[in-house]
Amino acid sequence: MRTPINLGAFGEYLHYGMPLSLVTVLDDDGSVNISTIASITPLPGEPSRLVMGVLEENYTSYLVEKRREFVVNFITPEMRSIARVCGMYSGKDVDKMSMCGLHLLPAAHIRTPLIEECPLNIECEVEHVVRVDDLYLFISKILVLEVAPELADERGDVNLEQLQLLFYSFGHTFALGPLVGQDPI
């Protein structure tokens, strides 16, 4: 016997532990729009891919479909209030870049810039767009995963002890817990 749980108005109880990101995409006037996105899942296989779920009502879905590229910028626990602003206002109405006082860095492979304050960035190229009701699924190739220089060790791996990401889980936000194993499983 199990107790069914209410999934929440935005399906927040289905988000059982996803790193929160600020997704950057180029706007029509060349400026950069930022949106808080939790629904990003890495996919198995070669080349490396991820799928991002964005609702049609969000300006980000329009821009990503048009540009066919975007950057996933993972955030730190200290950036929680920025995630709230970028998840509350639409780039249709406001310039979230200047509202949040963030800084941009050029990307290595695409025209869309990275957010400097975010410790881990993933440059993505859209390969397939799947439409399900009012939801867009962007199945995208990962061109490169980049970290701030102080987070890379001498072998080119991420220094996990230093990396602090903000996780969205069951409608709440968490920092990552302690390392419990050196192996993948």
Pick the closer one to ligand FMN by CB: 21 or 121. 21
Pick the closer one to ligand FMN by CB: 88 or 160. 88
Asked if residue 123 lies in contact with residue 107, where contact means CB atoms within 8 angstroms, the answer is yes
Minimum distance between the CB of residue 62 and ligand FMN, rounded to whole angstroms?
8
DSSP H/E element including 21: strand 21-26
- Taking alpha carbons only, the member of 86, 93, 120, 91 closest to residue 105 is 120
Minimum distance between the CB of residue 184 and ligand FMN, rounded to whole angstroms?
26
Minimum distance between the CB of residue 86 and ligand FMN, rounded to whole angstroms?
6
Asked if residue 168 lies in contact with residue 39, where contact means CB atoms within 8 angstroms, the answer is no
Pick the closer one to ligand FMN by CB: 83 or 147. 83
DSSP state of 112: S
Minimum distance between the CB of residue 10 and ligand FMN, rounded to whole angstroms?
7
Asked if residue 50 lies in contact with residue 42, where contact means CB atoms within 8 angstroms, the answer is yes
Minimum distance between the CB of residue 57 and ligand FMN, rounded to whole angstroms?
7
Pick the closer one to ligand FMN by CB: 29 or 150. 29
Question: Where along the sequence are the contacts to ligand FMN (CB under 6 A)?
Answer: 20, 33, 35-39, 53-55, 58-60, 83, 87-92, 168
Residue nearest to ligand FMN (CB): 87
DSSP H/E element including 80: helix 80-86
- Taking alpha carbons only, the member of 112, 97, 103, 122 closest to residue 21 is 122
Asked if residue 75 lies in contact with residue 22, where contact means CB atoms within 8 angstroms, the answer is yes
Pick the closer one to ligand FMN by CB: 35 or 121. 35
